Amino acid sequence: MTIITHVTTHDLRARTSRTLAGSDAVHVDPDYSAAYVVLHTDEPYQGHGMTFTIGQGNDLCCTAIEMLATMVVGRPLSNIVDDMGAFWRQVTNHSQLRWLGPDKGVMHLATAALVNAVWDLWAKERGVPVWKLVSDLSPEQFVDCIDFRYLHDAVPPDRALEILKSRRAGRDARLSELRRDGYPAYITSAGWLGYSEQQVRDLCRSMRADGWTSFKTKVGVSIESDIRRCELMREELGDQIQLMSDANQVWEVPEAISWMSNLQRFDLRWIEEPTSPADVLGHAAIRRGVAPIKVAPGEHAANRVIFKQLMQAQAIDYCQIDACRLGGLNEVLAVLLLAEHFGIPVCPHAGGIGLCEYVQHISVIDYLCVSGSLDDRTTEYASHLHEHFVDPVVVNNGRYVVPEAAGYSIEMKPESIAALTYPTGSEWTN
C-alpha cells in the first residue's frame, strides 16, 4: 500500500526573458517558471506535478502548494484515488483556504500542481501513462472523478455518462490511429513578438521543412506591425497553411473587433484571448463582430464555470483549456465533457514549460473517451525547455507522438531542478 510520506516544493524558473521566447503583447519579458511539487512515498516511485507561471509570484504558488499538501501527507494513495471526485472537492473546498479563491488565482494554480501530482503518482503505481489510466476507467468511474457542482444546468452526471458510454465503441481503432499517425498540433514558436522579422522568416522556413502545417503568431502591439507579421508569415508559409493569432487579453471589446477587421485578409483561423478572460459577454460580442475569424478563449479561464458560461453564451468557437489554470485533471475532464455537449472543439493551450507534456495526455483522453473526433482539432506546441523532462514530449511531422511512459510526463531531471531553482541554481548564478 503506497503511503504519501512527505511533500517537497521547488521554485523553478528558466530565464526565457533573455531570448524573448514566450513574449507577447502583454508579457514582454517572461521567465517561464514552474511551481513544482514532489509527493514522496514509502514506495520506489514519486508523484510529480507543477503549475506554470512566468516568473515573479512563483514562490507564492509554492507556498500555496505546501498549504494544500497537508491534505495528502500521511494518506494511503488508495484512500485518495478510490474517490477522486471527493478528493478534488476536499482540496478546493477547504473551509479557510477557499476564501482565497474560490477556484481561481494562486490557490487554484496550486490545486493544479497537487492534483496533477496525485494523478502522476497513481499512473506510476499502475505502470501506465495518465491517458491510459483515464481511458481504462469505466464511464461511471470517469464521472466520479468530477465535481459537478455548478454544472447541473449544463451537463449533469447522467448526460456525462451518456457521452462517455457512446464513445466506447471504436476506441481501440482510434488508439491505433493515434499511435500510427500522432495527434495533430500547431506550433507557436515562430511567432513570439520579441523576435525580429528575419528570425520569424527563418523559423517559418525551418519549421515548415520539419512538417509543420499549422502556425500561430502573437498580435496586439500595433496594427501596422501585426499586418507586417502576418504578411511575412503568409509569404513564407503560403495560403494553404493554417495561421492563427493570439492577443493575450490586450484589447477592449470594440477595439478587438476593429483591430481584427484589419487582419481579415490573412485568412486567420482564430483570434485567441482577444479581451479579459472573465468577460463572457464581451467574448460573445467579439465572436459576432470578427466572423468569419473564430474566437478561442480559455487559456486564462480559471474554472469550469467560466467555460460553462462561455459555451452557454455562444462566446467560444474553440476551447483552449490549460492544464494548470484549471484545478488539475479532474476539472479538465469536466470541461472536456462541457465542450463535447456544446459541440466545441478542444484545442489545449500549451505555450509554457511542462504544458506540452501535460496536454498531450489531455488530447488523447478527449479523442479516446469524450469527443471521438479529430475534426478541427489541433493542440499547441512550443519547442523550448523540453530537455528538462525525464520523458519529454515528442513531435513528428507536426503531430504529437502518443506518450507511453508511466505517469503524466511531468517529472523533471534532478539536474534540471537544481539548475532552475530560483535564485540559487546555475540558471541564475551564472
Catalytic site residue 388? no
- Contact yes or no for 56/35 (Cβ under 8 A): no
b/e map 287-315, b = 16+ CB within 10 Å: bebbeebbbbbbbbbbbbbbbbbbbeeeb
- Burial of 265 (C-beta count, 10 Å sphere; 0-12/13-18/19+): exposed
**Can you read off the three cell numbers belonging to residue 63?**
507556498
CA pair distance 35, 87, nearest whole angstrom: 21
Catalytic site residue 6? no
- Contact yes or no for 30/16 (Cβ under 8 A): yes
The CA–CA distances, whole Å, from 372 to 89, 171, 329, 382 equal 28, 8, 19, 25
CA pair distance 65, 324, nearest whole angstrom: 13
Nearest to 323 by CA among 9, 126, 31, 50: 50
* End-to-end CA separation in angstroms for the chain: 44
Selected catalytic residue, list 349, 361, 384, 388: 349
Phi, psi of 243 (to 5 degrees): -135, 125
CA pair distance 163, 168, nearest whole angstrom: 9
Selected catalytic residue, list 132, 218, 384, 388: 218
Phi, psi of 216 (to 5 degrees): -130, 145
- Contact yes or no for 157/148 (Cβ under 8 A): yes
- Contact yes or no for 134/333 (Cβ under 8 A): yes
Each as own residue / partner, the long-range contacts of residues 99-105 (CB below 8 Å, 24 or more positions apart, any chain) are: 100/64, 103/302, 103/303, 103/305, 103/327, 104/302, 104/303, 105/302
Nearest to 346 by CA among 169, 140, 361: 361
Give 12's strand partners. 34, 421
Query: How many residues comprise the chain?
Result: 430
CA pair distance 417, 276, nearest whole angstrom: 34
| DSSP code at position 346 | B
Number of continuous H segments (helices) and E segments (strands) in the chain: 17, 11
Nearest to 302 by CA among 112, 104, 109, 107: 104
What residues are annotated to the active site? 218, 349
